[in-house]
């Protein structure tokens, strides 16, 4: 089953090509997300908001 899930992910995954001042908003309960890493000399800024209804 894990192999099947990994095959599906490989088919539908997408990379986000970040540019200065980009913002990405997604519903964390509806999307599978990951990261490959950060450039050694790159700047990383993370802003998070949680809303419970």
pLDDT in tens, 30-48: 877 777 776 677 777 777 7
For 3-39, how does the pLDDT look when each residue is reduced to its tens digit (9 = 90+)?
998 898 889 888 878 888 888 888 878 877 777 776 6
Per-residue pLDDT, 46: 73
Place of tokens 């800024």: 45
Dist. CA 19–CA 42, nearest whole Å: 12
- Tell me how long the chain is: 53
Per-residue pLDDT, 19: 86
């Amino acid at each position: 089953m894990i192999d099947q899930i990994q095959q599906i992910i490989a088919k539908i995954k997408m990379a986000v090509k970040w540019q200065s001042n980009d913002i990405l908003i997604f519903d964390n309960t509806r999307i599978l997300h990951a990261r490959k890493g950060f450039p050694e000399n790159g700047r990383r800024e993370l802003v998070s908001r949680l809303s419970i209804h």
